[in-house]
Structures are given as C-alpha cells and as structure tokens.
Amino acid sequence: MKISLYLLCLLIVFGFTNTAAQTPTLTTIPIGVSVNDLIGSSLGTSPFDFKNAKENTEFVLKKEGYEPLTISIEKGSKKPLSFPENLNSCGECLFQFANFPKTGKEPYAGSLKMKKKFDEVENSIFIAIDTPKVVIPNDREIGKVNGNSWKMGAKDIHWLLGYPENMNNQVFSPFENSFLEAVFLDIKDSSITNLYKPKIILKPIINEMAFDLNGKLYRDYSGPVMLKIEWNITTIKDPKKILAIIPVTTTFWRTGQNYKILLHQMMEAAHAELLQNDTLHGFLAKLENDYLQSTIGPPLKIKTEKALSFSGTKEMLKAITPAVVTIENPDGFGSGFIISKDGYILTNHHVIKGAKEILVKIGSDKKISAEVVKINSDFDLALLKIKQDNLSCITFENVSTLEAGDEVWAIGTPLDRKLGQTVTKGIISGFRMWNGVHFIQSDVSINSGNSGGPLINEKGEVIGIATLKYFGKGVEGIGFGIPTSEILKMMNLQLE
C-alpha cells in the first residue's frame, strides 16, 4: 500500500496523471445547440464533451433562431485542456465568463453565447455611430499581456489598442442583415437636406476594459477580453442632448492568428452585443418617429380648387402642365408645382438650397421672385409663395387608393432650363420606407432638375413629389417620390 501511494505521488508530481487525457466541455447560451462536423453530420448538443468528437477539430454550431457559428479547437496536447482556452478560432465569439478576471492559476471557464438571427426587417432604422470616447483614467490598469500589466496612460498603449478615431468599416459587420443600417457620423456633412442623414446618433462611451492576453506576436495574442460601454443616444437636431443611455458589458475570447486591432475587435463585439437587446429596435423606432413628429411646424391653411374631370390623358396633361414651374437659384434649378391660385408652390428643400434669391419661372419666360414660407428638411420639402393671382394649380389625391401598377406621369425640368414642363410616363412600382420616410417607387423617368416636380395620376391629381433616383451602372427606372399624405402631414398643410 505504501509503495502504491508513493508511485501515485510521483505520477502527480511529474504530470503523468490522466488529466492529459481529459477533454474540455462546450457549454453554450442557450443550451441545446447542435454540434456538427464540417459536412453537416450531428455529433451531439451542448453541453458537449469533445471526447465524443473523435478526430474532429472544427465544428459548426447551429440552433434555430441563432446565427450558425464555426469554431476550431486544439486537441492532442499533453496539458489539460479547458474551454474556451483550447479555442484556435471562433471569430468574434461572445462569452459569459465564470471567472474573469481571475485571481488564481485555474483555467478560464465560460459559456459561448450564440448570436441571435434577425428576422428580415423591411424598414430598418438608419443610425449614425459617433467616434468612441474613452473615459478611463490614465493611471488605471486595463489588462495584461503575457503577465505584464498595461495602464491606460502607458506610452505604447495605442500600439496595443489602436486609436478610437481610426475605426474603420470592419466594426460595422455585426450590423449587416440586422435591423440597423449604420454609418459613421460625418460631422462635415454639408448636405442641404436632412432626408439622407440618420436621425439617431449612438455615441459609445468606453468606461472600463480588461484583457488577459498571451502570445509571442500581436497576431497570436489570445485570451479573455471585457469592455463596458454606455451608448449615449442623441439626434441630429441636438447632438449634445442625451435622450437615453444604454449600458452594455461585452465579454469575448480573442483567438490567435488574429490581425485585428484590439480596440476595433472590442467595438465589433460590443456592437454585436448591443444587437442582442430585444427591445432595441422598438425603442429606436419610437425615438426616430418622435424626432420626425417634432419637425412638423404650425398649421397653415391653403385654399385650393376642386378636382377637374377630363375626357382623356391629352386633355388632362394640357390642363395641368401650366401649373408646373421651374425654380431657379444662383447655384442651379429644379422643379415645383402650384397648389393654389394665389401662388403657393411646393418643391424639394434641396432645390432652393437655402438661397436668398429664388425665382419661379412660369411658362416659357415669365420669372417671379418667391419667398420661403415653410421647410421640412427631414422630408426634403419646401413651400414657396409668389405674389400672383389666378394661377393654374393642381389638386391632391388620397395616396391610400394607389396600387402598384397604376400609371403615373412626372412633369418637370430635367437636365436643362430649356426643357421645362417635360412630361414622362411610367407606373408605380411599389411603396417603400427609408429613414422614417414613406416613398412611392416608380419607373417613370426622373433626371436632375425633375426634383420638386409633381407625380400625377390618370385623373390629373398630385400623388407625390419627385425627390430622388438611384444612379449607377446598369441602374434604370428606380425613382422615388414622397406621397401627398406625407407632404400634407409633415408640412402641416390644411387644404380648404
């Protein structure tokens, strides 16, 4: 008995216990994730003991409602393995650690967090991401590399972390196929209209981080990483006014053979973690809607004419074309249309471009000075007024009666001032929503200069205002107009 105990002690001292044969267990959140080999054969479900994996080192994890994930693990080592320390590759694997940061020499332990699969959302929310701001004191330790401590104010810290202002588009990969359409906040964007700008701004404030990385080279650094962020939410109307703060703690395991800058990888994981919030879409959608509702100005009553009836298309176009005008400013021109006999005119905000001098060309040569009555930049709309009476004008149609396939005409001044009151014909292709704004999609020919002109139905009524067109090689017949229901609501026009 004494000899047996003595031999057992020797085996333990020299590391020849059966721990060398132990295999790690994969635990996941949620449990019950299917573990498959690369050809799709099921090996089991989580919790999964890798001793059941035979010679496999690469696995595809699947569960309904979650994104599939491919991981690879280290096998055949004489040292005891533990999960996730045995990971060779895992992308940006989110983890819930049981012992990070740890105090002893025990291996790290944790559960892999599967990322939710997002249902296709037709009306995604357009947001801007501001440059991350780090508010960690310089004297605070933020992590270790090969056992050596790093402080926030270390001389070479940016060699390790990178610079927040140099974030690139790679950090936006988690937003692909999600309910958010994200871009970097461009403070130098000088666009005349806000129609193409995100209304919601998310600014990440980094207030804590931790990491314990090991490896010979930067690309080999692997280990647990933690990042705490407060996502400050504002709008373009007042970027300094914080409407909400969403605190998010992100933990993940960085694997070797990784060329990503550490802070970029941290932010990529933080974006993915933010998207796991089930109430985020509804919350941001409400903020966007509240913002757009706040752009509605005071009501304005306008006396309009009753709709006329026509015997045919030619008669209709002949009657309403005189109500379509060319709008000129010192930098260019666009189109517009008269909606009252006493001179109210609708156009796009980007057509007037904030000009002090605006001229309205009626017919072939008559030009009249116009004043700006109202604008709604977020819908790219402007209402002008000229001092003129007994003008030809156009009536409005209820957009709710429109359907895809209905015929539509566009009237405007495309490409050249000499081409005023040009008529083109097409059909309604569909109805879309982007950046909180409803659009009519049409294949009617719209070119530069058509902006601000009316979209007309077969009865000679305005159904929308031509606003934008997709341009690009091989792209034809994709134009968009803002429907009359949006125009009346967001400009707060009360037609009598």
Catalytic center residues: 350, 380, 451
CB 219: neighbour CB atoms within 10 A? 12
Q: Give the helix ranges, DSSP H, for 353-491.
A: 484-491
Write the CB contacts of 103 (distance below 8 Å, at least 6 apart in sequence).
none
Amino acid at 329: N
CA–CA gap between residue 446 and residue 476 (Å, rounded): 10
Amino acid at 243: L
Residue 438 host element (H or E): strand 437-442
Amino acid at 64: E
Bridge partners (DSSP) listed for residue 66: 116
CA–CA gap between residue 32 and residue 495 (Å, rounded): 60
Bridge partners (DSSP) listed for residue 471: none
Cβ contact 2:13 at 8 Å: no
Please report the DSSP string for 70-111 in residue order.
EEEE--S-SSPP-TTTTEEE-SSEEEEESSSS-SSSSPP-EE
CA–CA gap between residue 369 and residue 33 (Å, rounded): 69
Cβ contact 65:116 at 8 Å: yes
Cβ contact 417:425 at 8 Å: no
For tokens 């992100």, name the residue.
Answer: 250
Rg (alpha carbons) of the chain, rounded to whole number? 31
Write the CB contacts of 318 (distance below 8 Å, at least 6 apart in sequence).
none
Amino acid at 166: N
Residue 246 host element (H or E): strand 244-254
Please report the DSSP string for 197-213 in residue order.
S-SEEEEEEEEEEEEEE
Q: Give the helix ranges, DSSP H, for 250-348.
A: 262-274, 280-294, 313-320
Is the C-alpha dihedral spanning 156, 157, 159, 165 positive or negative?
negative
